[in-house]
Structure formats: C-alpha cells, structure tokens
C-alpha cells in the first residue's frame, strides 16, 4: 500500500471514531470564510470541547459508514466543515454563534441519533442552556423535597422548644 493511501485510511479511521463518539454532527459550508475566521471557529470550538474537521468529501462519506451519521453522506458536497462532540448543545451553540458572526459560514444540516436535524432544530438546540446549567437545575429540583422534609422535621423540635419556653415564662410570671 502506498503512503498516500495509508494516510487516507488513517484519516477515515480517525474521523470514523470521532463520529462514533459524537452526540451531534453539524455540516456547514465555509466557502469564503478566511483563515482568521476559521482559526477563531476552531479556538471557540476547542473551548467548548467541540471538534471541527475539514476532510475531503469522499473520505467523509466513508467515515460515516456504519455510524448513526450515515444519513449525512448525501450532504458532503462542496467545501464542508464538520463539527461534532459528545455534547449536542455545545456543538449547536458553537456553530450557531459563529454563523451569526460570519454570514459566509452557512449551516447546512446536522444529524443526531440517526436522524437529520434541520437548521431550525439546530437553532432551538443552541438556545438550550448548557449541560452544567441543566444538571444543576436537575439537582436543585431533586434536592428540594429533601430540603423541605428536613425543614419540617426540624420544625417539630423547634416548635416544642418554643412551647416549653412559653410555659416556663408563663409560670415564672
């Protein structure tokens, strides 16, 4: 096998593994976006644990085979950037925010759990709060009944103590 073919196999394997571990993949056309803009996108993506890949379309089509993102194979035409991570909200937020600031960066489509996601659904996903905020809200909701129980159980001895103090005060008068 020649060196060029080995390099292509390695790229396909790496991108395939990235697709297998991804929660959401977004395809966007980056035609006209300069190097500075793409560097800014990669920087903000790195901060959100989102990967941005630009590979040849034929290699990308091979990389999505046997993954949940096989439905994207027909969308690999033209200059396409692929954004993916385990956190779907982070991926959608990163791509959506960059597209708002750079009109030449056009979000095409996405896929999640084997289904295509259109641009409107991606926008709705981007508007969701982040994973940490959702987890803290969930924990707060789960802890609320326990906190109320503790306050109720604590109120019984406190009320008894107040009653005993009142009885003591009334007897001392």
Classify residue 52 by burial, with Cβ atoms within 10 Å: 0-12, 13-18, 19+.
buried
Per domain, the residue ranges of the chain are: 3-128, 129-173
Copy the structure tokens of residue 4: 């060029």
Least confident interval from 84-88, 109-113, 161-165: 161-165
Contact (Cβ atoms closer than 8 angstroms) between residue 63 and residue 19: yes
For residue 1, what pLDDT is reported? 61
Q: What is the dihedral of CA 136, 139, 140, 142, to 10 degrees?
A: 160
Q: Where does 3-128 sit in CATH, by number?
A: 3.30.70.1730
Select the more confidently predicted residue: 128 or 80: 80
Cut 0.85: pTM above it = no
| Residue pLDDT, tens place only, 117-135 | 888 888 888 887 777 777 8
């Amino acid at each position: 096998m020649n060196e060029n073919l080995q390099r292509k196999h390695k790229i396909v394997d790496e991108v395939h593994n990235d697709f297998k571990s991804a929660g959401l993949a977004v395809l966007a056309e980056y035609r006209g976006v300069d190097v500075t803009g793409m560097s800014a996108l990669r920087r903000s993506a790195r901060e959100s644990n989102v990967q941005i890949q630009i590979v040849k379309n034929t290699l990308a089509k091979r990389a999505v085979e046997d993954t949940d993102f096989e439905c994207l194979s027909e969308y690999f035409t033209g200059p396409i950037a692929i954004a993916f991570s385990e956190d779907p909200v982070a991926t959608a937020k990163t791509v959506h925010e960059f597209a708002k600031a750079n009109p030449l960066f056009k979000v095409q489509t996405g896929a999640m759990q084997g289904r295509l996601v259109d641009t409107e659904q991606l926008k709705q996903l981007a508007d969701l709060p982040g994973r940490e905020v959702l987890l803290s809200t969930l924990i707060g909701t789960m802890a609320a009944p326990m906190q109320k129980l503790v306050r109720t159980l604590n109120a019984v001895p406190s009320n008894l103590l107040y009653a005993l103090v009142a009885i003591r005060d009334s007897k001392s008068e």
